[in-house]
Amino acid sequence: MLLSVHTFVSLDGVMQGPGNPDEDRSGGFDRGGWLVPHASAHTNEVVQGWFRAAGAFLFGRTSYHMLGGYWSKVTQPDDLIATKLNTLPKYVVSTTLTGEAAAWNPTTVLRGDPIDEVRRLKELPGDELQVHGSWQLVQTLHQAGLVDVYRLLQFPVVVGMGKRLFPEGSIPTTFATADSSRVLPGGIVSLTLRPASLGAISAGAYTVDEGRSTTVLD
């Protein structure tokens, strides 16, 4: 399965607590709900497109409980996102989550080394293995080079604090941008990014050659 990461980010890269003031207050975060004033039919269309490609879901424990506590209550049969989340296989990385607490069925708790577990899942046939939220897990997957594609909605807001998608210390990576990337009404940017060079970034310099400004690439 292809491993894809989906998240909402601010202009300063924050992905913490986009949908509710109480969604994630860890680290003293008090700016939750920053996405909601910018949500629209256009952003909903993009997110539904994400979920159409899902074959299974992979979560960290916190996001598993948060999303499960909300979407398990959405029972309308025409709600695409709820239908996908409530019926497709779910995998949650945790060494402490009990089977009884993993009640958002069907759920499998991954108790082994997360890198080994995810590599095993990626070898299975099927549609995409999607990660939504799950900040700490995303860091682990990125550092290990396991993410095949990132799909982001970037909103025109600077949050100023919080968990960032790529915090300091992340492995340098150059991405290729897919043709499906576009700017939505309201200045929201829909991005589809595929890692093109993990562990390195392209670089160059501007210089003047015979009176002309030119670029030199390494």
Instruction: Give residue-wise pLDDT tens across range 127-142.
Output: 999 999 999 999 999 9
CATH of the domain at 55: 3.40.430.10
* pLDDT tens, position by position, 152-189: 999 999 999 999 999 999 999 999 999 889 999 999 99
Give the count of domains, the chain.
1
The pLDDT, as a whole number, for residue 115 is 97
What is the residue range of 120's domain?
3-217
Could you please report the per-residue DSSP string of 188-216? -EEEEEEEEEET----EEEEEETTEEEEE
Cα dihedral 20, 22, 26, 28, rounded to 10, equals 100
User: How far is CA 28 from each of CA 24, 87, 95, 106, 155, rounded to the nearest angstrom?
Assistant: 9, 34, 25, 33, 22
> Is residue 37 pLDDT above 80, yes or no?
yes
- Which is nearest to 13 in space by CA: 41, 34, 37, 40? 34
Q: Sign of the CA dihedral 30, 35, 38, 40?
A: negative
The pLDDT, as a whole number, for residue 171 is 94
